[in-house]
Amino acid sequence: MQDALCADPSAAWSLGRMAEVACVTPRHLSRLFREHAGVTPHDYLQDVRFALAERAIDEGRPPKQAVAEAGIGGTRQWRRMKQRRR
């Protein structure tokens, strides 16, 4: 599942869709993520999206474009994510 999220982070991933792709129940997927990644599937996806946006901005892309490509709802959401990581 981690590979699928990294391959298409801007997709509209719900827990149900993630579980379908992983061929497990949503509850089991949540347990597996907590056990192996130490976070929820949603938090993992947000971390991937944030890292992609930060990398794109560091490479010179405008923030609005970078966050859109990463699947983040907008620059306002990106700024909130950034504040939480401090």
pLDDT digits (tens, 9 = 90+) for 63-78: 999 999 999 999 999 9
Residues of the chain with pLDDT under 50: none
Q: What does the angle CA 86 – CA 40 – CA 32 come to, to the nearest 5 degrees?
A: 140
**Residues 21/4, Cβ–Cβ less than 8 Å:** yes
The pLDDT value given to residue 33:
94
The pLDDT value given to residue 64:
95
**Residues 46/53, Cβ–Cβ less than 8 Å:** no
The pLDDT value given to residue 86:
75
The pLDDT value given to residue 85:
82
Going along the chain from its start, the domains and CATH numbers come out as 2-84 (1.10.10.60)
